[in-house]
């Protein structure tokens, strides 16, 4: 075999031939993030010449002990804001340079191009219509006076809302993948559309969210570091929710004895209504609390605003109701049973089978536990159908509706306690229930089913109580 290598060329000549003389091997690495900083400098300047870095912030809130509430809930206006100026900022921030690797042509044309596509498109596979960003914007407007809601101020708010949106989205992408969900918001789930890049996409969203918080929040903001730290803390918290699914995979991997059927992968004996409260906290409460915290820090409210039991319980009550609605709407599909999700139906069934909801005949308890231990989380139509039939026989679906009614009935009480504790806005539950309803032509079939559920006679008056957006204003004045 012949070779075209000319061994007469010196090693110095080889280095010159391949462009290795006088260059660094890590030539494309930019540890100082100069391109990102240049991007941030341009982002913080508005077309009218105003500079976000010179904008006065509501620093009078730093020592406040209560939220100062302003305005009310105007969801149609918020929807227009999200569709208009927020989306413009979100799309602009999708172009923020990736950390470190900025100079090479490959990074700009491939890696950076994909990160920009991800930042502009992944939201379609997240909570309905920028839910997290919309709530953050709404809360910021409620807890700051109009003089701190100028275009310069709102550009900063939209930037932090974008970071929160991306962080929320990455968990929804993971959740759909772990659940085996094929559709989200009427479109194929992200892992279905992008199976090869899926894992790295979640890392990109987390990294770009941190990039935004590091560079788009000006240094003169008194809580810039706390905003960043709270986001890091939230990513750490996310591990709690997904550990349940990982443990299921470990159980599924166990080899059954010869001739025996594979047991359920679900830890049935450890589930109760207390378990459901824990599931809801990791699934939703912690994330809504994160949005509340980010809006609080943005508005310069420090540790003086009590973050006590009443506020946490208020958020937990609202998110519990939302998760209950989700479980009830999903139940007819059987997918939650097939996937072994710790839904309200499953937790109620275990709770009842253990005699914790009143006396139960031994044969009924045995029937329920046998079905739960051997059929929940088993991927066959027969097993899924057997669990759903057991739910019907023992009134589990009706119990789920009763539980939702009890939660909605208690929400005004916990809302009042949070208002008295720290002046918390009273319209968080109303926002959560109504965001999907403001444009019925644009919502998904799933959202329509949720709205239909809440319009039932047994829930109508309870939902109406949560829509009194002026209640917190009146109470705040009398406090």
pLDDT tens profile 349-407: 999 999 999 999 999 999 999 999 999 988 889 999 999 999 999 999 999 999 999 99
* Tokens describing residue 22: 């006088």
Q: Among the listed ranges 176-185, 194-203, 272-281, 419-428, which one has the minimum average pLDDT value?
A: 176-185
The answer to whether residue 468 scores a pLDDT higher than 90 is no
pLDDT tens profile 133-165: 999 999 999 999 999 999 999 999 999 999 999
Average pLDDT across the chain, whole number: 85
Closest-CA residue to 136 (of 465, 472, 454, 435): 435
pLDDT cut 90: percent of the chain above it: 51
What pLDDT score was predicted for residue 469?
Answer: 47
Report d(CA 208, CA 226) in Å as an integer: 17
Closest-CA residue to 295 (of 415, 164, 418, 411): 164
Task: Provide the angle, in degrees to the nearest 10, between the axes of the packed helices 457-465 and 445-454.
Answer: 90
Residue 58: C-alpha distances to residues 110, 116, 137 (Å): 41, 32, 16
Give 430's contacts (C-beta < 8 A, 6+ positions apart): 73, 466, 467, 469
pLDDT band (50, 70, 90) for residue 129 = confident
pLDDT cut 70: percent of the chain above it: 84
Torsion sign over Cα 432, 174, 191, 248 = negative
DSSP state of 108: I
How much is the CA Rg of the chain, to the nearest whole Å? Answer: 26
Closest-CA residue to 40 (of 185, 195, 162, 216): 216
What pLDDT score was predicted for residue 300?
Answer: 96
Report d(CA 2, CA 63) in Å as an integer: 80
Q: Which of residues 77 and 260 earns the better pLDDT score?
A: 77
Report d(CA 28, CA 42) in Å as an integer: 22
Burial status of residue 262 (CB atoms within 10 A of its CB: 0-12, 13-18, 19 or more): middle
pLDDT band (50, 70, 90) for residue 440 = very low
Closest-CA residue to 46 (of 150, 159, 152): 152
What pLDDT score was predicted for residue 331?
Answer: 84
pLDDT tens profile 15-59: 888 888 776 666 666 667 788 888 999 999 988 888 999 999 999
Quickly count: other Cβ atoms within 10 Å of residue 19's Cβ.
9
pLDDT tens profile 207-255: 999 999 999 999 999 999 999 999 999 988 877 766 676 677 776 666 5
Residues 337/341/345/350 CA torsion (nearest 10 deg): 100
b/e sequence 122-160, b meaning 16+ C-beta within 10 Å = bbebbbbbbbbbbbbbbbbbbbbeeebbeebbbbbbbbb
Residues paired with 188 in a beta bridge:
183
What pLDDT score was predicted for residue 100?
Answer: 66
Half-sphere exposure in the Cβ direction for 401 (13 Å, CA): 14
* Tokens describing residue 309: 């039991």
pLDDT tens profile 292-344: 999 999 999 987 787 678 999 999 999 999 999 989 998 888 888 988 889 99
DSSP string, 120-149: HHGGGGSSTTTHHHHHHHHHHHHTS-GGG-
What pLDDT score was predicted for residue 471?
Answer: 56
Return the SS3 of 321: helix
Instruction: Identify the helix (H) or strand (E) that includes residue 370.
Output: helix 362-375
Token pair 């491939």 is found at 110
Report d(CA 443, CA 426) in Å as an integer: 25
Quickly count: other Cβ atoms within 10 Å of residue 42's Cβ.
9
What pLDDT score was predicted for residue 164?
Answer: 96
Return the SS3 of 231: helix
In this prediction the pTM is 0.88
* Tokens describing residue 446: 């799933």
Number of residues written out for the chain: 479
b/e sequence 355-375, b meaning 16+ C-beta within 10 Å = eeeeebeeeebeebbebbbbb
First-last CA distance in the chain? 92
Give 352's contacts (C-beta < 8 A, 6+ positions apart): 360, 368, 394, 396, 399
**What is the biggest distance separating any 2 CA atoms in the chain, rounded to whole angstroms?**
94
What pLDDT score was predicted for residue 407?
Answer: 95
DSSP string, 212-225: HHHHTS-TT-TTHH
């Amino acid at each position: 075999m012949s070779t075209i290598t000319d061994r007469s060329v010196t090693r110095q000549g080889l280095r010159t031939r391949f462009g290795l003389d006088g260059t660094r091997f890590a030539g494309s690495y930019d540890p100082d993030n100069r391109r990102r900083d240049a991007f941030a400098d341009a982002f913080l300047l508005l077309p009218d010449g105003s500079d976000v870095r010179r904008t006065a912030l509501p620093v009078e809130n730093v020592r406040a002990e209560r939220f100062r509430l302003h305005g009310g809930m105007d969801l149609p206006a918020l929807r227009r804001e999200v569709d208009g100026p927020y989306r413009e900022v979100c799309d602009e921030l999708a172009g923020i340079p990736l950390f470190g690797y900025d100079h090479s042509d490959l990074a700009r044309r491939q890696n950076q191009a994909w990160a920009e596509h991800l930042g502009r498109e992944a939201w379609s596979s997240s909570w309905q219509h920028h839910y997290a960003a919309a709530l953050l914007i709404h809360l910021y407007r409620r807890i700051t006076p109009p003089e701190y809601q100028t275009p310069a101020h709102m550009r900063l708010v939209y930037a932090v809302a974008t970071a929160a949106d991306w962080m929320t989205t990455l968990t929804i992408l993971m959740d759909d993948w772990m659940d085996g969900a094929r559709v989200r918001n009427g479109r194929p789930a992200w892992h279905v559309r992008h199976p090869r890049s899926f894992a790295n996409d979640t890392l990109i969203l987390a990294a770009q969210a941190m990039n935004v918080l590091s560079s788009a929040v000006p240094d003169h903001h008194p809580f810039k570091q706390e905003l960043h730290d709270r986001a890091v803390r939230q990513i750490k918290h996310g591990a709690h929710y997904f550990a349940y699914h990982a443990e299921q995979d470990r159980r599924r991997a166990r080899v059954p004895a010869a001739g025996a059927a594979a047991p359920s992968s679900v830890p049935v004996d450890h589930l109760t209504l207390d378990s459901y409260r824990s599931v809801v906290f990791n699934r939703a409460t912690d994330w809504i609390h994160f949005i509340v915290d980010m809006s609080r820090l943005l508005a310069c409210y420090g540790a003086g605003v009590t973050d006590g039991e009443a506020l946490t319980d208020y958020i937990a009550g609202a998110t519990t109701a939302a998760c209950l609605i989700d479980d009830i709407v999903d139940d007819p599909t059987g997918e939650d049973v097939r996937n072994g999700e710790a839904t309200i139906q499953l937790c109620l069934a275990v709770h009842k089978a253990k005699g914790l909801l009143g006396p139960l005949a031994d044969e009924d308890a045995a029937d329920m536990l046998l079905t739960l231990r051997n059929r929940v989380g088993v991927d066959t139509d027969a097993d899924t159908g057997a669990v759903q039939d057991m739910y019907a026989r023992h009134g589990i679906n009706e119990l789920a509706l009763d539980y939702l009614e009890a939660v909605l009935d208690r929400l005004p009480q916990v809302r009042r306690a949070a208002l008295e504790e720290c002046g918390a806005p009273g319209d968080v539950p109303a926002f959560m229930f109504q965001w999907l309803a403001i444009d019925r032509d644009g919502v998904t079939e799933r959202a329509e089913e949720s709205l239909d559920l809440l319009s039932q006679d047994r829930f109508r008056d309870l939902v109406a109580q949560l829509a009194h957006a002026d209640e917190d204003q009146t109470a705040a004045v009398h406090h």
